Amino acid sequence: MLAIENKIKEMEGLHPSALPDEVWSSRQPLVLRGLVRKWPLVTAGLDGADAARRYLLSHYEGATVAASLGDPSANGRVFYNADLTGPNFEMIRAKLDVILGKIAQHENDAKPPLIYIASTTIDTSLPGLRAENDLEFDGRAPLASIWIGTRARIAAHYDMPDNIACVAVGRRRFTLFPPEQLENLYVGPLDVTPAGQAVSLVDFHAPDYERFPKFRKALQAAQVAELEPGDAIFIPGMWWHHVESLSAFNVLLNYWWRDMPAYMGPPFNALQHALLTIRDLPAHEKRIWQDIFNHYVFENKSENFDHIPAASRGVLAPITETTARKLRAFLLNRLNR
């Protein structure tokens, strides 16, 4: 296990129906000890994996789910194949009860295969589960997902939305890095990924410091926490997180949300377009475009546009749903030429 001195800040005594502003506004990760300890799913899991599976199936109505199947030799690592051309697992669709049965068959294996249901929408796969196991989001509309599987290691990656992850069954270790550690995490390809997000290529169980020397700097900024059943963690958007499920059977519920309007779209689209149009320009032109982006996007000082009448500022004014539609139509027209 990596030697990490920094522990994630912890809060206790919180209620799932009344999280304080300190959580919602935090730009640092927070461990929320015991937040969902009274969930029926947590209680069932404390009685054993079989009890947890029975409880899950009591809310199951037969929908198929996607699952990742990997060889025992991967030691639970959800990652790339040897040449980074695809994942080191195969994807299947099956009934939830079948997958849970396969997990049970390997529960006592010293090196079980990877069997992993990742980021599955709760309301479609297990309708009614959230009626008994949920958080109150104070007007926000999060995407609620469930993760079920054997021991697994999810490579360090970031998600754009804020996230509260609730450990319902089993134990998990979270290793987090602030966004500015990108350079030191040796991130793999953007267009070929194991599961949709770009990930660090460093194996946290056996770091190759000759190949990835700057990873030592990342570890100096890392924060770590081990969560028990009933604990939760708040992960701010864009924070890198490496997640390990440590028990033979593990269940996690998580909630993603953004406090920005959906019509703004994902910034990753802008990154992809910049790779297409700016990255390979001559250096002197890139510097010019860097200044232009600072002027219009990153600094965006109000005095930069005071000389333009407010009614004539168009997309230089704060984006509304109407201007977002116009911008999207403009971009589609240009990209389709």
For residue 138, is pLDDT > 90? no
The HSE-up count of residue 211 (CA atoms within 13 Å, CB side) is 9
For residues 177-204, give the mean pLDDT: 96
Structure confidence at residue 126 (pLDDT): 98
- Name the residue among 31, 82, 250, 218 with its Cα closest to residue 154: 250
Average pLDDT rounded to a whole number, residues 109-114: 94
Asked if residue 1 has pLDDT above 90, the reply is: no
d(CA 125, CA 15): 26
Instruction: Please check the confidence at residue 37 and state whether its pLDDT lies above 80.
Output: yes
Q: Say what the pLDDT of residue 234 is.
A: 98
Q: Which CATH architecture has domain 10-259?
A: Sandwich (2.60)
Residues facing 98 on adjacent strands:
none
Strand ordering across the sheet containing 162-169: 10-12, 30-33, 232-235, 162-169, 250-257, 143-149, 114-121, 64-70, 89-95
Residue 231: per-residue pLDDT: 98
Q: What residue segments make up the domains of the chain, in order of their start?
A: 10-259, 263-335
Reported as a pLDDT band with limits 50, 70 and 90, residue 221 is very high
What value does the mean pLDDT take over residues 159-169?
A: 97
pLDDT attached to residue 98: 97
User: Is the pLDDT reported for residue 176 higher than 90?
Assistant: yes
Q: Tell me the average pLDDT across 99-109.
A: 96
Tokens for 314? 């168009």
